[in-house]
Amino acid sequence: MEQIGWSPRLETQFDKVFIHRDSWNSPVARRARKIFAADKVEQVDHTPLSEPGDHLSADEFNRSKRLLYLTEYKGRFFKRCPGARPGLACCNYFVLNLGLQCDMNCTYCYLQSFLNTPLLTIYTNMEQALREMAEFLDEQPDMNLRIGTGETVDSLSLDDLTLYSRELIAFFRRAPHWRLELKTKSSKVDQFLDMDHAGNVIVSWSLNPQHVIDQEEFDTASLQKRLQAARKCRDKGYLLTFHLDPLIFHPGWQENYKGLVEEITKWFTPNEVLTISLGALRFQPEQRHIMRERFGLKSYVTQAEMFRSHDGKFRYDLDMRRTMFDFVLNEFRRQGEGWNLFLCMETRESWMGAMTGMPKSVPGLDEYFDHRALRAFRQHRQQSDLLEGRTTR
C-alpha cells in the first residue's frame, strides 16, 4: 500500500488535516501522515470544530472542503439507496458511505441541502464496513446486490489517499454475484488497475459536456480525462457505466449534448458500457439559497426556472424534462442500436413519457439491471477480445 503513489494536487489541497486519536494508527492515517506536511497534521481527541447548526453558511461550506478529518464512523455503513422512496423510480441498490463531503465543487451538489459538518470527513474503520457486508453475505448468500459508494463522497477523488477501492475490489472477489459501483467525476484509477478482480466491479462516471463542466463542475476532471480513465478501466476488464446526470438546460444545450453523445460513442461501443442513466437537474428547496450564495447568478443552475415536484424537490417542468430526455435518447439511437439506457431518480410521468413504461413493471427488475445486460455485455466483449487477441474475464 505504501508503494502506491498519489496525485501532486493531493499534497496541497487541504489547509489542515485533523486525525482523531482513535484513528491515528489506522492505515489511512498512516498514509496521510506520509503525504501531508507535518505542520498540517494535528491529532485531536474530539471533532475539532463545533457544529454550526442545521446548515452551513456558504463560507463554512467552502471552508469545509479545505479541512480534512480522519475519524471512525459510529453508525452503520451499509444501507439501502436513498432513491428507494414512494413516488420515485429507482434502480434498487445499496450504498456504502465511507465519508462525508466532497473535495469537488459542483454548483448543483445535493450535499449542500443537508450537510452540517464543517469538515471533509473520511471514515477510517473500513474493517467495520467490510464486516457489515460479510454478515449480509452470510445471511443472504444467494441475493444479487448492487452496491454504490458515491452517495456522500466521490468514490475515487480521494482514493489515492484512502486506497479503499483496493479493499473493496478484494472483498468483492468473495461475492462474484454482487456488483460494486465506484462512481466518480475524477480520473483517478491508476491505484487499482493492477488488482485481480472478479469481473463484478463497475467503474462509473458522471458525464456532462465540457461546456457544462467548465460552468458548473469545478475542480473535477475534464470530459476527455474521464473518458481516458474509463478506457483504462475497460482495458483491464472492469465494467463501465455512465451517468448523464444532471442534464442541465442552457443556451446551446442540444448541440452540447449531441456532442457529448458523439464523444461517448466515439470512445466506446454499446458492448463496452453496461448501462447509461439519464437524470435531469433537481435539488431541494433549501439548497437554492446556498447555491446562489456560493456561485452567484452566472450559473445555469442558480438561474434556472424550477418547479416543485411530488417529492418536494425543484425540477424543470415535465415538458422540458421530456424534451431533454427524448433528445438525448434519440441521439444515442441515431448512433446505433444496443445502448442500455434508463432514467434515474425520475418521476413516474417522466418514465412513462420517455421509456414507455415503469421499471417495476418490467418482469424481473434485477434481471434487467444485472444479468441480462451483463450476459450480453460479456458475450460481446469476449468475442471482440478474441478478435483482438486479448484475454479478458
The DSSP line for 334-353 is HH-S---EEE-SEEHHHHHH
Chain center to CA of 53? 27
Place of cell 465543487: 105
Q: What percent of the chain has pLDDT over 90?
A: 76
Confirm whether 202 is domain-assigned.
yes
**CATH (domain of 159):** 3.80.30.30
pLDDT at site 30: 98
State mean pLDDT over 205-228.
Answer: 99
3-state secondary structure of 48: coil
Residue 171 lies in a domain: yes
Question: What's the pLDDT band for 56 if we cut at 50, 70, 90?
Answer: confident
pLDDT of the residue at 363: 42
Confidence of residue 104 (pLDDT cuts 50, 70, 90): very high
Q: Any idea which of 90-99, 343-352, 371-380 has the lowest mean pLDDT?
A: 371-380
Domain count, the chain: 1
**Residues near 343 by Cβ (< 8 Å), separated by ≥ 6?**
89, 277, 278, 279, 325, 350, 351, 354, 355
Nearest one of 371, 380, 386, 391 to 200, comparing CA atoms: 371
186 domain residue, yes or no:
yes
pLDDT of residue 344: 81
Kindly give, in sequence order, each residue whose CB lies less than 8 Å from that of residue 311, ignoring residues fewer than 6 positions away.
85, 87, 88, 347
**Is 287 inside any structural domain?**
yes
CA-nearest of 391, 320, 46, 378 to 328 is: 320
The DSSP call for residue 195 is -
Distance of CA 29 to the CA centre of its chain: 24
d(C-alpha 58, C-alpha 189), whole Å: 31
pLDDT of residue 167 exceeding 90, the answer is: yes
Indicate the average pLDDT of the chain.
88
Over residues 305-329, the pLDDT tens digits come to: 999 998 899 999 999 999 999 999 9
Q: Classify residue 373 by its DSSP letter.
A: H
Instruction: Give the residue-averaged pLDDT of 202-212.
Output: 98
How far CA 187 is from CA of 155, 170, 201, 213, 233, in Å, comes to 11, 21, 16, 14, 11
Is 361 inside a domain boundary?
yes
Angle at 298 between CA 294 and CA 299, to 5 degrees: 70
Distance, CA of 362 to CA of 369 (rounded, Å): 10
Structural domain includes residue 360: yes
| Cα dihedral value 226, 229, 231, 233, nearest 10 | -130
pLDDT given for residue 93 in this prediction: 78
Give tens-digit pLDDT for 65-87: 999 999 999 988 988 776 555 55
The x, y and z cell numbers of residue 380, run together, are 460481446
Q: Is residue 391 over pLDDT 60?
A: no
Q: What letter does residue 205 receive in the DSSP assignment?
A: E
Listed range (6-10, 88-92, 129-133, 251-255) with the worst mean pLDDT: 88-92
- What's the pLDDT at 362? 43
Show the domain range for 91.
Answer: 75-99+109-114+126-388
- Name which of 11-15, 55-59, 162-166, 207-211 the model is least confident about: 55-59
In a domain, 37, yes or no: no
Q: In which band, very low, low, confident or very high, does the pLDDT at 52 lie, cut at 50, 70 and 90?
A: low
DSSP code for 370: I
Inside any domain, residue 301? yes
What would the DSSP string read from start to end of 244-303? EEEE---TTHHHHHHHHHHHHHHH--GGG-SEEEEEE-EE-TTHHHHHHHHHTTSSTTTT
Per residue in 320-364, pLDDT (tens digit) is 999 999 999 999 999 999 999 999 866 555 544 455 454 444 444
Strand partners, 275: 241
State the DSSP code for 119. Answer: S
State the DSSP H helix or E strand holding residue 218, giving kind and residue range, or none if neither: strand 217-218
As a whole number of angstroms, the distance between CA 392 and CA 381 comes to 8
pLDDT of 92 > 70? The answer is no
- Model-level pTM? 0.88
| The pLDDT value given to residue 2 | 54
Q: Measured on CA atoms in the order 88, 74, 36, 119, is the torsion positive or negative?
A: positive
